[in-house]
């Protein structure tokens, strides 16, 4: 019973977040589709910007989405590997969390290669991996600021 409760508490959020990332990788969130909303919004905010600048900002927004999605996946994965442990941090939890991020990033890009309006990019895998690594850095930083002992 405890094993089931722990699975639900620690791993279901990871699985749900992976589902969210998978959904964001569909054609609905392709550059072509998001530009229909983001470009007019940017044009209304900054009417003097060239289309080239607006396209660049649109791309930055999209790439920051990759970074933030995988930042959260890194946090959730670390939490899942930590589970109910009294220890606040262990290197193996960080390594496992980054491995989950890397494997899911690769599988997500593979998924996108089958979506007509998306493409597969190793650059995006790199951005995803940076998000996962930054999440682990944030965990370590918060631990140091708050003053948790590694035990």
| DSSP codes of every residue in 9-51 | IIIHHHHHHHHHHHHHTSGGGSHHHHHHHHHHHHHHH-TTS-H
Contact status, residue 125 vs residue 70, Cβ threshold 8 Å = no
Give this prediction's pTM: 0.88
pLDDT (tens digit, 0 to 9) for every residue of the chain, 151 residues total?
777 888 899 999 999 999 999 999 887 777 776 878 888 898 898 888 899 998 899 899 989 999 999 999 999 999 999 999 988 899 999 999 999 999 999 999 999 988 888 888 899 999 999 999 999 999 999 988 887 554 4
Domain assignments of the chain as residue spans, ordered by start: 2-146
């Amino acid at each position: 019973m405890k094993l089931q409760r722990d699975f639900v508490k620690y791993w279901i959020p990871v699985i749900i977040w992976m589902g969210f990332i998978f959904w964001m990788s569909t054609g609905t969130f392709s550059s072509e589709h998001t530009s229909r909303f983001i470009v007019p919004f940017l044009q209304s905010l900054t009417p003097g910007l060239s289309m080239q600048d607006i396209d660049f900002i649109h791309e930055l927004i999209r790439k920051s989405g990759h970074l933030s999605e995988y930042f959260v996946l890194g946090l959730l994965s670390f939490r899942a590997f930590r589970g109910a442990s009294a220890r606040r941090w262990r290197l193996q939890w960080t390594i496992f969390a980054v491995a989950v991020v890397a494997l899911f990033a690769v599988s997500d890009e593979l998924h996108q290669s089958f979506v007509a309006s998306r493409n597969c990019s190793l650059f995006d895998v790199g951005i995803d991996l940076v998000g996962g690594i930054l999440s682990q850095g944030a965990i370590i930083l918060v631990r140091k600021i708050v003053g948790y002992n590694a035990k």
